[in-house]
Amino acid sequence: MTTVENITAASKAANLRNYILVTGAYWADTLTDGAIRMLVLFYFYELGYTPFQVASLFLFYEIFGVITNLFGGFLGARFGLKTTLFLGLGAQIIALSLLAFAPPSLLVVPYVMLAQALSGIAKDLTKMSSKSAVKLVAGETQGQLYRWVSLLTGSKNAIKGLGFFLGALLLTLIGFQSALLLLAGVVASALVLALLLIKGDLGTPNAKAKFGQIFSNNRAVNLLAAARIFLFGARDVWFVVGLPVFFVSVLNWDFWLAGGFMAVWTIGYGTVQAATPGLIRRQVAGDHEPDGGTAMRLAFGLAVFPAAIALALMGGIAPMIAVVGGLLLFGGIFALNSAVHSFLILAYTDSDKVAMNVGFYYMANALGRLSGTVLSGLLYQVGLQTGPNGGLIACLWASVAFVLSAGALSLLLPTNTTVRTKPIALKDLGE
């Protein structure tokens, strides 16, 4: 092996090691993020907050997620992904501490919204860092890129599911603020390990990067981002507030049971995402990777499931059978669609713009979550006027409209996943 080959191999090994460390830190943040979601949702619902008031607690979380993804890509390009990772973990510790050490008189809507804003910043900074780092590892090999990003996305959602269960369980066992202190310790440990073990900048910082470059001029990226808004709006419009409230108020489930089921669903959803390369390839001729047509077919197919659940509830079918069964089917198809999107954003983007384009794409993701979260609480509360199942039915029909919009936008996506204007070179891999 030549000297150049030795240097290249060593550099790739270092990038892989850093990626593993970044992913581990992201897993710690993801676990606590899921736990916080259940803690806040069930704690304040138990205090008598309406579904819309509960949704409002997450308003700043989603708004600042949009802002963070907008600026995070720029910061990652300008200062390196390690900087954005450390900022994200630090913000999560502050967010947890604000809630854990607050006297009961401070635990009101504006204060909780502020803490949730910091939590949203933390989650999206760490996510952008990890999702961008995968490009440094996989490089120009599209099949490897597809497998890596599917594994990352799938594992992330599995751990977020564990967080849902952990949050609901901790609320039951040790209470709201004690649970938050425990979670703060988990994130602090991850930050210390990251500070000690991650070497380099995770990519080459570009001091010439300009904020205006965050807005992509790549048509494929823009279309995919628009489709992403509606795809995630379709999930969160019934999953974020409507579904857990339905579990505890209509099905009379305990908090830990509702959180446990959502955990199992999210873990299963993540497992499907991780297995997406093999599952999709069985439906695609030859060795082709998924493209815009794949995203379109999955989106239109997904619309069937929320419509079927809504019709089943309207037809008097037992709510547990209709919702639980339908949710499992919805989760499988949604997971495939989400994983294909996560591959396409990296396949479409230029290697020298990966942090910015990923940040722009996840800004769209956050916009979808924001719209879904607000509508989930609002539509559920309004729909209750028609009966106990009416709230969830209203959320489900909104989900159908969102998914159909995502499918229509996906019709315009390129069927060529190598539409980048600049090829990936060794220097882009940190050589």
Nearest to 96 by CA among 31, 156, 183: 183
Cα separation values, 296 from 13, 129, 288, 293, 407, Å: 37, 28, 16, 5, 5
* The total number of structural domains that make up the chain: 1
- Amino acid identity of residue 403, one-letter, is V
What is residue 204's predicted lDDT score, i.e. its pLDDT? Answer: 56
CATH number, position 221? 1.20.1250.20
Residue 427 lies in a domain: no
Q: Is 150 helix (H, G, I), strand (E, B) or coil?
A: helix
What is residue 269's predicted lDDT score, i.e. its pLDDT? Answer: 77
- 264: its two tokens: 């199992």
Residue 326 lies in a domain: yes
- 245: its two tokens: 């409230």
Four-residue CA torsion sign, 420, 425, 429, 430: negative
What is residue 425's predicted lDDT score, i.e. its pLDDT? Answer: 31
- 103: its two tokens: 């006297």
Contacts of 79 (CB under 8 A, 6+ apart): 201, 205
What is residue 307's predicted lDDT score, i.e. its pLDDT? Answer: 94
d(CA 274, CA 336): 9
pLDDT in tens, 8-36: 556 666 666 777 777 788 888 889 988 99
Centre a 10 Å sphere on the Cβ of residue 140 and count the other Cβ atoms it contains. 16
Q: Which residues of 297-331 are buried (b: 16+ CB within 10 A; e: fewer)?
A: bbbbebbebbbbbbebbbeeeebeebbebbbeebb
What is residue 144's predicted lDDT score, i.e. its pLDDT? Answer: 56
d(CA 362, CA 398): 22
pTM: 0.72
pLDDT in tens, 229-247: 999 999 999 888 888 889 9
Centre a 10 Å sphere on the Cβ of residue 224 and count the other Cβ atoms it contains. 30
- 384: its two tokens: 């209750």
What is residue 85's predicted lDDT score, i.e. its pLDDT? Answer: 82
- Amino acid identity of residue 364, one-letter, is A
Nearest to 323 by CA among 255, 238, 203: 238
Residue 430 lies in a domain: no
Cα separation values, 20 from 91, 131, 193, 270, 294, Å: 21, 12, 12, 18, 29
Residue-number span of the structural domain to which 64 is assigned: 3-420
Residue 409 lies in a domain: yes
What is residue 22's predicted lDDT score, i.e. its pLDDT? Answer: 77
- Amino acid identity of residue 108, one-letter, is V
Query: Please, are residues 204 and 132 in contact by the beta-carbon 8 Å criterion?
Result: no
Q: Which residues of 5-20 are buried (b: 16+ CB within 10 A; e: fewer)?
A: eeeeeeebeebeebbe
| Alpha helical stretches, state H, 202-291 | 219-239, 242-249, 255-274, 276-281
Please give the backbone phi and psi of residue 10, each rounded to the nearest 5 degrees, phi first.
-65, -40
- Amino acid identity of residue 297, one-letter, is R
Q: In tens digits, what is the pLDDT along the chain, a chain of 431 residues?
A: 555 455 455 666 666 677 777 778 888 888 998 899 889 888 888 888 888 888 888 888 888 877 877 776 666 666 667 777 888 899 999 999 998 888 888 778 888 888 888 888 888 788 777 766 665 555 544 555 556 666 666 677 778 888 888 998 999 889 888 999 999 999 999 899 888 877 766 555 555 555 555 555 677 778 888 888 999 999 999 888 888 889 988 888 888 888 888 888 888 877 777 676 666 655 543 456 677 788 888 889 999 999 999 999 998 888 888 888 888 888 888 888 887 887 777 777 765 566 566 667 777 887 888 888 888 888 998 888 888 888 899 999 999 999 999 999 988 877 765 544 443 332 232 22
| Alpha helical stretches, state H, 101-210 | 109-138, 142-173, 176-197
Residue 48 lies in a domain: yes
Residue 425 lies in a domain: no
- Measure the N-to-C terminal CA separation of the chain; round to a whole number of Å: 17
Query: Please, are residues 392 and 383 in contact by the beta-carbon 8 Å criterion?
Result: yes
Residue 293 lies in a domain: yes
Q: Is 303 helix (H, G, I), strand (E, B) or coil?
A: coil
Residue 271 lies in a domain: yes
Nearest to 180 by CA among 39, 73, 54, 352: 39
d(CA 376, CA 399): 10
